[in-house]
Amino acid sequence: MTFINYRWSGNEKSNISRVLDYIENHLKDDTKLNITSLSKIAGYSEFHFLRIFKEFVGLTPADYIRKRRISEIVKRIGGNRPVSDIAFEYGFNSKENFTRAFKSEHSILPTEFKSTNCSLRLFEPFKFEKIYPVPVVSMKFLEGFVLTAYNFGDTFPPNCWNKYNSEKRSLTLSGGVLTEDFGVMRWNKNKKCLEYYIGIPTELAKGNLDTTIEIEIEGGLYAVFQTVPTTQHEFVDTIRKTWEWINTVWLPTSGYKRKDAYELESYMESSKDYSERIYVPLIKED
């Protein structure tokens, strides 16, 4: 693990930490999580509290609470208890409100998640100290190959995977054969956004290929990062933290820089191993 410490002001950190602890202790009680109460606990005016909370946490208090609640509900889905009962326990006053919030967060319905049991990006309690799960790193020369993939455009990558898995698109592409899936990304300089695709090697694509495209993956030198094994509910966050570690810790000290080519993520959803490989194309620093 790599530990990263940020130099927040001691008082500000203490004040926001107190609010975060209070939110966790009252996550099921909507009456105690209004801005007036939270700002008083922090010791700030409402205006200053909203500004400093978002500066530190990266979300408004309302968004943070909503994401935390949905995350806790996701962890409890799976038994015989109705999802609506769990949602009501965590402050959603109707099934419709929860379904709308869940779909907005993950781009699939709660029923689709329950039927596929895929890995969602969950929001754990915010911590000032970031802990990065350090992957196994290797350097490899890859032969070029072709992927048959769906174009998800600039959709948030975890939500691309949610849709891909819930609609069983891997089996659609392969004709019913279990195979490894590849997420493919590249920064679009003109549109200034990350474009994302998911698919399988073209030689394995024997099924329905409607609306797919072929993507040529360049051969060459790649750094390959195997993420640490984790659990279903921690998997997507582990991937996010691994990318952060690659970008902020590994690349700046590696002696290499990114090649302007597709970067890849690969794993097999059906394996339930909850580890993936990340491929970053490289060229030597001048």
* 129-169 confidence digits (pLDDT tens): 888 999 999 999 999 999 999 999 989 999 999 999 999 99
> How high is the pLDDT of residue 129?
85
Q: Which structure tokens are listed for 286?
A: 């001048």
Q: How confident is the model at residue 9 (pLDDT cuts 50, 70, 90)?
A: low
Mean local confidence (pLDDT), 268-285: 91
The 10s digit of each residue's pLDDT in 167-226 is 999 999 999 999 999 999 999 888 889 999 999 999 999 999 999 999 999 999 999 999
> How high is the pLDDT of residue 8?
52
Mean local confidence (pLDDT), 10-27: 92
Cβ atoms of 107 and 155 within 8 Å: the answer is yes
> How high is the pLDDT of residue 80?
82
58 or 5, greater pLDDT: 58
Helix or strand run (H / E) with residue 3 = strand 2-4
Q: Which of 194, 205, 210, 200 is nearest to 159 (CA)?
A: 194
Cβ atoms of 263 and 146 within 8 Å: the answer is no
Q: Which structure tokens are listed for 146?
A: 């072709």
Compute the distance between CA of residue 224 and CA of residue 88 in angstroms, rounded to an integer: 43
> How high is the pLDDT of residue 164?
96
Q: Indicate the DSSP class of residue 218.
A: P
The SS3 call for residue 200 is: strand
**Cα 145 vs. chain centroid, distance in angstroms?**
26
> How high is the pLDDT of residue 120?
93
> How high is the pLDDT of residue 3?
40
Phi and psi angles of residue 121, each rounded to the nearest 5 degrees, phi first = -80, 115
Compute the distance between CA of residue 32 and CA of residue 25 in angstroms, rounded to an integer: 10
Compute the distance between CA of residue 41 and CA of residue 18 in angstroms, rounded to an integer: 7
> How high is the pLDDT of residue 79?
77
80 or 236, greater pLDDT: 236
In the chain the domains, ranked by start, together with CATH numbers, are 2-116 (1.10.10.60), 133-284 (3.20.80.10)
> How high is the pLDDT of residue 286?
72
Average pLDDT, the chain: 92
